[in-house]
Amino acid sequence: MSEVFTFGVKSGQPYAMIDITGEVQKKIRESGIKEGLCVIFIPHTTAAITINENADPDVIRDFLMEINKIVPISDGYHHSEGNSAAHIKASMMGFSETVIIEDGRLLLGTWQGIYFMEFDGPRIRKVHVKIIEG
Ligand code: ZN
């Protein structure tokens, strides 16, 4: 058995890391699936999904600061839409994560959270969650 859920994420700023762990966990609860896999996928080209620390908000601050140094916002890019940096960061980070489900819960580490990463906001985005029993 498997189920697909979709929920929205509203990013209020140009760059953001939004903790969506609770929302994903809620979908697992709704599915009733106790053991299996959870795939979190986003249908976007200037945003990403990642797993990282959810305890100290400074980790997010540092992350966004450094990734803008690795891929500068302006750098003589050719893409006319003006958001090449966001496209590059999105592909570097990736568009999905897979997490094991055990006893109806995401088998994340104590300090791990699932983050939606906005690189070209503010926008209203979608997150698809596929929950596979097994
Ligand atoms: Zn573009």
Domain boundaries, the chain: 2-133
Contact 33, 3 (CB under 8 A): yes
DSSP assignment letter at 81: T
CA distances from 27 to 20, 70, 113, 125 (A): 11, 34, 15, 17
Q: Ligand 1: distance of its center to the CA of 48 in Å?
A: 14
Q: Ligand 1: distance of its center to the CA of 11 in Å?
A: 17
Residues 6+ away with beta carbon under 8 Å from 8: 124, 125, 126, 127
How far is the C-alpha of 97 from the C-alpha of 116, rounded, in Å? Answer: 11
Mean pLDDT of 42-62: 96
Structure tokens at 38: 């959870």
Q: Ligand 1: distance of its center to the CA of 45 in Å?
A: 8
Q: Which amino acid is at 52?
A: N
pLDDT of residue 133: 98
Q: Ligand 1: distance of its center to the CA of 73 in Å?
A: 13
Architecture of the domain made up of 2-133: Sandwich (2.60)
Residue from 73, 103, 102, 76 nearest 88 by CA = 73
Q: What is the pTM of this model?
A: 0.96
As a whole number, the mean pLDDT across the chain is 97
Mean pLDDT of 45-64: 96
Structure tokens at 72: 């500068």
Confidence of residue 111 (pLDDT cuts 50, 70, 90): very high
Confidence of residue 19 (pLDDT cuts 50, 70, 90): very high
Confidence of residue 112 (pLDDT cuts 50, 70, 90): very high
Q: Ligand 1: distance of its center to the CA of 87 in Å?
A: 7
Q: Ligand 1: distance of its center to the CA of 72 in Å?
A: 15
User: Which residues neighbour ligand 1 (ion) by CB within 5 Å?
Assistant: 81, 83
